[in-house]
Amino acid sequence: MRILIVGGVAAGMSAATRAKRHNPQAEVVVFERGDYISYGACGLPYVIGGEVESFGDLIARTPERIRSEGIRVRLRHEVSGVDASDQSVTVQEAGGRARREPYDRLLLATGVSPVRPDWATPGVAGVHVLRDIPDGQALEASVKSARRAIIVGGGYIGLELAEALRARGLSVVLVERGLDVAGRILDPEYQRRVRQELERHGVDVRCGVEVQALTASHGRVTGVQTSAGLLRGDVVMVAVGVRPNVALARSAGVKLGHTGAIRVNTKQETSTEHIYAAGDNSESVQRVTRRKVHVPLGLTANRMGRVAGVNMAGGAAHFPGIVGSGIFKTFGLGVARTGLSQHEADALKLDAVSVDVESTDHAGYYADAAPIWVRLTAERGTGRLLGAQILGHPGSVKRIDVIAALLHSRGKVHDLAEVDLAYAPPFSSVWDVLLVAAGQASRAARLPRTDTTAP
């Protein structure tokens, strides 16, 4: 049994480890085109910001350690083609010759690549994306001598980097094409609070602004030309999204889904026999809507990888899908979401109602009580939980996990409203903000559609 894995970060390494553990006799080979495997890409912004000491700290397991588990690791090996009919791939070591490698099972764990818009002319120094360790090292080198940063894109990476670059003493302009930051993460009311947090910490946020071109001098970036004029900067961070790496899948005749990512079943099998896909390049099922989605996140990638690994090695595992949890912090604000926003529920024509509650993260009379905002979204009539958004002190927003767990089992707001969540003054109000929100949502969900006012 020969298992080939293309890509050695989250999904790929999880798959390799699980496959070897499930079937120690199997030959498991990982091809990674880069120099690094098994690292936590989610930690990259924090190395820039200084909360993580070095890029090396992000490496979970070294190649030596992985090899000691009997897994063959081939760094700087790029897989350029798949021949599904004779079960082989074409692989080329950096500076070497292409060769063919046969497989019994093949995993495509090729991840995503940052989107590089047309205006992000290659070859201009000081223009960055942030996806892997070399990207991080390049950005770090630029930041050392930079004074003015321009971040293009107000999603997770852009928002995390805004804090990191301010912490490094740079002035920061954040340019977002949409109406506000965190546009695909939160509903508009909550987007605004995130923007205000950025502005409170000196970030110059420009929304509704399109970048049209870079300006450069002697091959170094000097700024960006936008729909609202010229912005000057000596480092430009391009964080406008990612797209799945599917070229290899296409070459193998593997079908893509409507999201553009690889279509897989719950065993992580693709449409082509003996070829699996897992991680950021793959679709998953959103359990709340039962639709296929493309939500590339670290935990999901690890999980899909484990499932693929077990199945490739002859076992039987299933990936149950996601409820769509996400969390980040920017400056003093923690932001978490799970399930659907009201906006997303509306787009799916669900009969959804949302309530908003502002409270304190612990008893108001106890030292350092900070505000917390919760939006809970439920299905009208049934009271089924559809999603939540939470903003507050970073220490308080992981409450989102309560909602995630209930979403997973299709729980209802009135069930949540009845739980004895743990209470003591340093930890919450007597009525934890989630209980207040659940009580209000429970009432709101029973209202007829015409009466849309949340209490």
Closer of 226 and 341 to its own copies (Cβ): 341
Q: Specify the stretch interacting with its own copies by CB under 8 A; choose among 130-138, 183-191, 247-255, 294-302.
A: 294-302
159 binds its own copies (CB under 8 A): no
374 binds its own copies (CB under 8 A): no
Q: Calculate the alpha carbon distances from 98 to 3, 23, 94, 110, 302 in Å.
A: 19, 29, 10, 19, 30
Beta carbons within 8 Å of 121's beta carbon, 6+ residues apart: 127, 213, 214, 216
Site map for its own copies, 310-349, x if CB under 8 A?
----------x-xxxxxxxx----x-x-x-----------
Residue 238 DSSP SS3 = strand
* Separation between Cα atoms, residue 228 and residue 210, nearest integer Å: 8
Closer of 227 and 409 to its own copies (Cβ): 409
The CB-side HSE value for 387 (13 A sphere, CA atoms) comes to: 29
Nearest distance in Å: CB 392, its own copies: 12
Nearest distance in Å: CB 269, its own copies: 19
* Separation between Cα atoms, residue 419 and residue 238, nearest integer Å: 44
Among 1, 42, 293, 370, binds its own copies (CB under 8 A): 42
291 binds its own copies (CB under 8 A): no
Among 98, 179, 247, 299, binds its own copies (CB under 8 A): 299
User: Active-site residue 207, yes or no?
Assistant: no
Residue 174 contacts residue 154 (beta carbons within 8 Å) = yes
Which entry of 1, 42, 52, 293 is annotated as an active-site residue? 42
Beta carbons within 8 Å of 149's beta carbon, 6+ residues apart: 143, 165, 170, 171, 172, 173, 233, 234, 235, 236, 237
Neighbouring CB atoms inside 10 A of 376's CB total 32
Interface with its own copies (CB under 8 A), residue total 63
Residue 77 contacts residue 89 (beta carbons within 8 Å) = no
Burial pattern 119-138, b for ≥16 Cβ within 10 A else e, equals bbeeebebbbbbbbbeebeb
Closer of 223 and 387 to its own copies (Cβ): 387
Nearest distance in Å: CB 326, its own copies: 6
425 binds its own copies (CB under 8 A): yes
Describe the strand order of the beta sheet including 98-102 as a list of residue ranges.
Answer: 77-83, 88-93, 98-102
130 binds its own copies (CB under 8 A): no
* Separation between Cα atoms, residue 80 and residue 64, nearest integer Å: 25
* Separation between Cα atoms, residue 87 and residue 401, nearest integer Å: 42
Interface with its own copies in residues 403-422 (CB under 8 A): 404-406, 408-409, 411, 415-416, 418-422
Nearest distance in Å: CB 137, its own copies: 16
Binding region for its own copies (CB under 8 A): 10, 40, 42-43, 46, 51-53, 57-58, 297-300, 302-303, 320, 322-329, 334, 336, 338, 363, 365-367, 394-395, 397-402, 404-406, 408-409, 411, 415-416, 418-428, 430-432, 434
- Residues belonging to the active site: 42
